[in-house]
Structure 1
Amino acid sequence: MPATPAPTPAPEPATANDPVPSSPLHDLMYGHIDTCALRAVVVHGIPDHLADGPLTAKQLAARSGTQAGPLHRVLRLLAQRGLFRQHEDGAFCLTDSGQALRADVPGSQRAAVLLFSGEAFRRSAAGVGDTLRTGQPGLDAAYGLPFFAYVSSVPDRSHLFDAAMSSLTSGANEKIVDSCPFPDSGTVVDVAGGRGGLLREVLTRHTGLEGVLFDTPEAVTGHLLDTPELKGRWSTRGGDLFAAVPEGGDVYLLKNILHDFSDEDCARVLGTLRRAVTPGTRLLVIDAVLPEDGAPPPAIALDVVMLMTLRGRERTATDFEKLLGRCGFRLDRILPTPSLTSIVEATAV
């Protein structure tokens, strides 16, 4: 006789923290709701109030000046997105991923959330329909200014942008430096290096190197290089990378810069660099590198951000080879890293 099949076990009851079954279509339809909910809890400091442990929505509302009912509903949504967890008693806590929303933790992503969920990026994204027709960034149409002019026109915007870039790349800097051999001695010039997070990592790991951080005067004012272990090994220079960059370096860094610009503007930047260096000088372009075969790369979303806000784009190895070649550099190799970016290593010829 055939064996009697074992009874199918009853499914575990769903909880408030279980992911919601969804389709890619619905995820896209509702994506902006998740973004706005995330921004709301960050603006009201909810993750910071949870630093010491779980709290109910009522307790959080009392501490943050919000209303408990709406707050509970928003936190319930974000719990399903993996940033919060709701306990059986109704209290909420941060997940490991949600910890990065706090302002006081290493690698905090609070500034990045505020930047990319802010008005400028929302309006740029809303204008992508016109961008498809005109080819012009939505931000230009919304504000009548190119992106960096818009950012620099108000100090608070500029500070938020610098903080967001530092937070986004804080973990990536270690991976980049691990993936690239640097010389034992010489001078590293970080061109448009922001607050100098990458240069700090390079100098910390390679004690025989000296460094120059070059960016706008406003950016270098908030630099991160003034640490005891780097004393006497760095300097800062303010200026315009389209006009002139510091001379005399042995290695030049361009991290997440070329993808901001069109090929013509990239040629201007690289031309300025080539005039400042001698043959044999190394250039490390640190950017995402798209695959040649059309395979889905993780930088596709970033490429569309460039489309909406700037006139730049992500590039393939062939694109980089052509761009560097026309500006007096030879592409030597591309080094992958465990981050979104690769290291495009070139030499001045």
Structure 2
Amino acid sequence: MDTTDGRDIAGEPDITGQLIEHALGHLFSAALRTAARCRVPDLLAAGPRGAAELAEATGTDAGHLRRVLRYLATRGVFREDETGAFHLTPAADALRLDVEHSQHAAVLMLTDPTFLRTSAGLEETVRKAGPSFERIFGEPLFAHLAKDPELRELFDSGMTSLSARVDAVVARTYPFPGQGRVVDVGGGRGGLLLAVLRGHPGLAGVLFDQTPAVSSHVLAGDEAVRGRWSAESGDFFTEVPGGGDLYVLKHVLHDWPDEDCLRILRNCRAAMARDARVIVVESVLPEGNAPHPGKAMDLAMAAVVNGQERTREEFAALLAAAGLRLTRVLPTAAFPSVVEAVAA
């Protein structure tokens, strides 16, 4: 069988080759992590370089490094030319540390052995309808993070990196009001709130999350938002700050099953000012077989935290059960959409 062009001798697709490549998909994650940790994208910022030169700069073996980069080039991460030199591609460029919205920390988080072990336990998640993370590590993710400062820092940095472009896109896409009080519920270090306040000088904001995230927020050092924000620590399962005109939940609900999401949403509903709105920034899964990054993230949420990504219809039902009415879903230039709701 000749599979050099992806088809067998009868002209049919090489299903065996495709399945083998799919089964070895974990090696793509490992190769991506290797390139990021070796800082190869940063070394290529000044121009293409061969494997020998890159290996000398990174303290690696030239032959093995070339094999990693050659594999990544088949997926559009780097490009190898006819001389054997490797070039940056848009995907590789996003792994540089010195670019805006760098995904370097996000890739290191998502490919960390902690989460790779969790993904390897997906079968157990399916069979037992619960996160493999908890069975592997003996406790839920957020309890585990509270006991492991190094992993917590990796997680927070990775989430900040993953969110950086999303924050900018959402701040531009959603028609935020000219005035009022925005409450960013579970807002982490405050990247989205910062982007919103920068772009809307008539708004004030509250960053609300657990102490470890809030204690390292990014709001204090920005003169453009001075005097227009506050940071509060608390538990969104108990209550959220009251009197907001807009409640923002970005990448919060996908961490939790429906019953927990309802507790969060009902607390937002109870705290809302008159005529306030809630916006949920999450992947909105397309129906059918259409590919979407959220469908991979959906499996990660199931394995790590017993959470899930949702369709428009699932969001509408969830919001309705919390006393809210879905008004619209706004796609963005990033992978999440903005789901807007008002009091029912």
The root-mean-square deviation of aligned C-alpha atoms, in Å, is 2.1
Which letter does structure 1 place at the counterpart of 2:268?
A: L
| 8 Å Cα contact 1:278-1:348 kept in structure 2 | no
Q: Give the equivalent residue in structure 1 for 2:326.
A: 331
Q: CA deviation at 1:148?
A: 1.9
Deviation at 1:131, TM superposition (A): 1.5
Return the alpha-carbon distance in structure 1 between the equivalents of residues 325 and 190 of structure 2.
26
Q: Is the 8 A contact 1:290 1:297 kept in 2?
A: no
User: Which of 192, 199, 202 pairs up with 1:208?
Assistant: 202
Q: 1:78 to 1:332 in 2, by over 3 A?
A: closer
| Alpha-carbon shift at residue 114 of structure 1 (Å) | 0.8
2:10 is matched with: none
Could you state the TM-score of these two structures normalised by the residue count of structure 2? 0.88
| Separation in structure 2 between the aligned mates of residue 93 and residue 290 of structure 1, nearest angstrom | 34
- Displacement after TM superposition at 1:69 (Å): 2.2
For 1:314, the equivalent position in structure 2 comes to: 309
C-alpha contact (below 8 Å) 2:80/2:87 kept by paired residues: yes
Find the aligned partners of 1:64 and 1:307 in 2 and give their Cα distance: 36
Higher Rg: 1
* Residue 189 of structure 1: how far off its partner (Å): 0.8
Name the CA distance, whole Å, in 2 between partners of 1:175 and 1:104.
Answer: 20
Unaligned runs of 5+ in 2: 1-13
Matches of 1:294 and 1:77, distance apart in 2:
30
- Number of the residue aligned with 1:33: 27
Letter paired with 1:288: S
Out of 105, 111, 116, the position equivalent to 1:111 is 105
2:263 match: secondary structure: helix
- CA shift in 2, pair 1:279/1:141, >3 Å: same
Please, which of 140, 146, 151 is the counterpart of residue 157 of structure 1? 151
- Alpha-carbon distance, 1:235 to partner: 1.6
- Matching residue of 1:95: 89
Distance 1:297 1:40 in 2: 26
How far is the alpha carbon of 1:31 from its aligned partner?
1.0
Residue 346 of structure 1 pairs with residue 329 of structure 2? no
Within the alignment, does 1:260 sit opposite 2:277 as a pair? no
Task: Name the stretch that deviates more: 26-35 or 50-59.
Answer: 50-59
Change (3 A) 1:98 1:270: same
d(CA) in 2 for partners of 1:343 and 1:191? Answer: 15
Q: Specify the alignment match of 1:221 in structure 2.
A: 215
Aligned-pair distance for 1:279?
4.1
> How far off is 1:295 after superposition?
5.0
2:244–2:273 Cα contact (<8 Å) kept:
no
Among 72, 77, 80, the alignment partner of 1:83 is 77
Distance 1:316-1:55 versus aligned 2 partners, 3 A rule: closer
Return the TM-score normalized by structure 1.
Answer: 0.87
The count of corresponding residues between Structure 1 and Structure 2 is 328
Give the CA deviation at 1:329: 2.0
State percent identity of aligned pairs. Answer: 45
Match of 1:4 in 2: none
Distance in 1 between the 2:337 and 2:73 partners?
33
* C-alpha deviation, 1:135, in angstroms: 0.8
Measure how far apart 1:56 and its partner are: 2.7
Q: Which runs of 5+ in 1 are unaligned?
A: 1-20
Q: CA deviation at 1:84?
A: 1.8
User: How far is 1:284 from its partner?
Assistant: 0.8
**1:328 Cα deviation from its structure 2 partner:** 2.5
1:138-177 alignment runs, 5 A limit: 138-177=132-171
Q: Specify which of 33, 47, 58 is matched with residue 53 of structure 1.
A: 47
**Partner of 2:283 in structure 1?**
288
